[in-house]
Amino acid sequence: MNANTLEEAVALTKKFTSKPTNEELLKIYALYKQATIGDNKEERPGGFDFVAAAKYNAWMKESGKEKAEASEEYISYVNGLSSKYM
C-alpha cells in the first residue's frame, strides 16, 4: 500500500506494526513539520529536554525546503518505510 498524499502518508504511519528507529521517527517528524508549517521559527529548547532538542534539530535540518518539496519527500520516505514496518 502506497500513499499519494500527505494525509494518506500520515494514515499509513499509524498502520505500522512495529516502531521505526529513533532516527527514522525524527526524519518523519521533521519532514511533516516542514511540509505543514515550513521553516522552524520556534525557540530552541533548553536544559535537559533531549527529545525536544532532537526534534528541533531534525526540523532545522529541513529548513529552506518548500512545503511541497518536503511533502513529496515525506510521502516517499513513509512509503519506503511501510515495506519495512508493515
Is there a contact between 16 and 86 (Cβ–Cβ < 8 Å)? Answer: yes
Range 6-85 has CATH code 3.40.1360.10 = no
Please state, rounded to an integer, the average pLDDT across all residues of the chain.
96
Of 31-35, 47-51, 53-57, 75-79, the one with minimum mean pLDDT is 47-51
Give the pLDDT band of residue 46 (cuts 50, 70, 90).
Answer: confident
Q: Which residues 6+ apart lie within 8 Å of 71 measured at CB?
A: 6, 31, 35
Please tell me the predicted confidence (pLDDT) of residue 36.
Answer: 98
